[in-house]
Chain A
């Protein structure tokens, strides 16, 4: 063991009670850091999960315009032109084949989307119809889990609608309702299920139909309007969207693009967290610095003796830097452990509905970061005391 290490260890263990207090102080700041980090990360994970569990991660749609190369005089000009054709994906089976073998894609749902009105008596409400394969009703949103009345079974040819929409029209399971599509087709359908997902966009406006029922209503005998994809890792959506766009030339939209406000919110939370983390680190640096500075004054005579016997300034400085590092390391380990246990404890507290009260993520406490920053901060905090110690004049120190 290097002698400077032995000396600094001896110094911090010589006054074990004071060292203990100091280490506890550092550990407390580390606990604050870990708690805030785990909470902010947990909140972001929770919000992201809440969102991504209910929506498609990547949506494939027909491109808005098709670029055509036109010849204008002698120049080639690429110009988007309207095709005046129905926007649809005709070769969707092929697209499914491509998407199926794209790594990371976990579910694919072909959808015939269309707008229309639900009419009951004199009341009329706009509805966004999702014509899906009955076996894939839960592929994008787990509708079955959110059914509050009836069922999500679509094979019988009924309509499954959001609870808010149902309330507005006074619809119950079994009530027949007239669906007028945007193409002018009409059909009387029974309500077979009512769901409440908790997303206004779904609960107020969406109705699910079997794709077979939807096709004639929207005049799409074989094409579809949308392919909804679920991924194993929603975070990879932008990359997979790009990949699929390149492979299919379809418009591919990752969920992040449609949920910018979520990203902004989590980033704002992150910045708030950074402030608190910075203050926790500052508290660590100040407490270590002041404690070590005090120690250099208390040990002036001893430092004087060392310097008199020809021990170098660097050795003295090293001893004090190492004391800082020891205190930082001990505080960081203790604080990280205590912080983890605290987060686990808090995460296990559940409310009356069985959900966690705090969306805390004990595994996302930024442990490696806080340990590294604390040790670096502690070394930095020791610089001033180390300089003071190495500048002690032996004659003055010994004669005082």
Chain B
């Protein structure tokens, strides 16, 4: 039995819009085991992105507790959260994923090169290796702006892996892609999950995408629906 990687306890998130307060997440309990590939589903506006942002330490919950590898993250400073994201998490978003003025290779290496202060030869090799794994070694010197949508998502996946993260959070990674490309991307994620034992949490509207995952988590009415 695999052990718990990320534990969320009674996460509550409400947004204030002037006078009106909307409670989006009303007490989320979640246990993400190491090595699993999970899908997150729910109607539009149900709070999938909000939950991913909270689990990804990009947003603080209104209440509740988060534990990553048995360490509580509730009271960490912004700087420490940033460091945590850098060392333990990977992100793939739907849009705006890459820095358009940098090459595919530089984009992949960025999250490691910035804290390290240098884009070393060793880092280039690692980035190139990851690009090779996502089938883009021949595009390593293309600017991100010169890549197709599917290629961009594959580069984003390679980037998410550069610091050997414990958990990769993907918010509708295939939302912008056609069916065939979406399938390729999902196969790639599956393959990485199998070979590296990297844990994935993927929000999606696409049932085909969800069906490739080990488990599906559903949000309804601000809570995780019982399976």
| A binding-site residues for B, Cβ under 8 Å | 1-4, 6-7, 10-11, 14, 301-302, 304-313, 315, 394-395, 397-399
Contact = CB atoms under 8 A, between A and B. Distances in A.
Given A310-B82, A310-B89, A310-B111, A304 B117 contact: no
23 contacts: A1-B118, A2-B118, A3-B114, A3-B116, A3-B117, A3-B119, A4-B114, A4-B117, A304-B96, A305-B93, A305-B97, A309-B86, A310-B82, A310-B83, A310-B84, A310-B85, A310-B89, A312-B115, A313-B78, A313-B82, A397-B96, A398-B93, A398-B95
A312 B99 CA distance: 16
B49 interface: yes
A311 B99 contact: no
Contacts, number: 79
Contact of B118 (A3, A311, A315): A3
B142 interface: no
A6 B118 CA distance: 9
Query: Which residue among A7, A10, A11, A308 has the maximum number of chain B CB atoms within 10 Å of its CB?
Result: A308
Given A312-B115, A313-B79, A313-B82, A306 B110 contact: yes
Closest 7 CB pairs of A and B: A310-B86, A310-B85, A14-B101, A309-B111, A301-B96, A311-B114, A3-B113
A277 to B, nearest CB: 36
Interface of B: 49, 53, 56, 58-59, 78-79, 82-87, 89-91, 93, 95-102, 110-111, 113-119, 159, 163
Contacts of B79: 312-313
Contact of B101 (A10, A305, A307): A10
Contact of B117 (A2, A301, A394, A399): A2
Nearest to A314: B79
Contacts of B91: 308-309
A338 B151 CA distance: 46
Nearest to A316: B114
A310 B112 CA distance: 9
Contacts of A395: 53, 58-59
A151 B224 CA distance: 113
A309 B53 CA distance: 12
Contacts of A305: 93, 96-99
Given A10-B101, A14-B101, A398-B96, A309 B110 contact: yes
A170 B53 CA distance: 102
Nearest to B98: A305
A181 B159 CA distance: 101
Contact of A394 (B58, B101, B118): B58
A312 B97 contact: no
A84 B156 CA distance: 102
B84 to A, nearest CB: 7
Contacts of A307: 82
A331 B96 CA distance: 32
A8 to B, nearest CB: 11
A306 B97 CA distance: 10
A315 B86 CA distance: 13
A302 B163 CA distance: 19
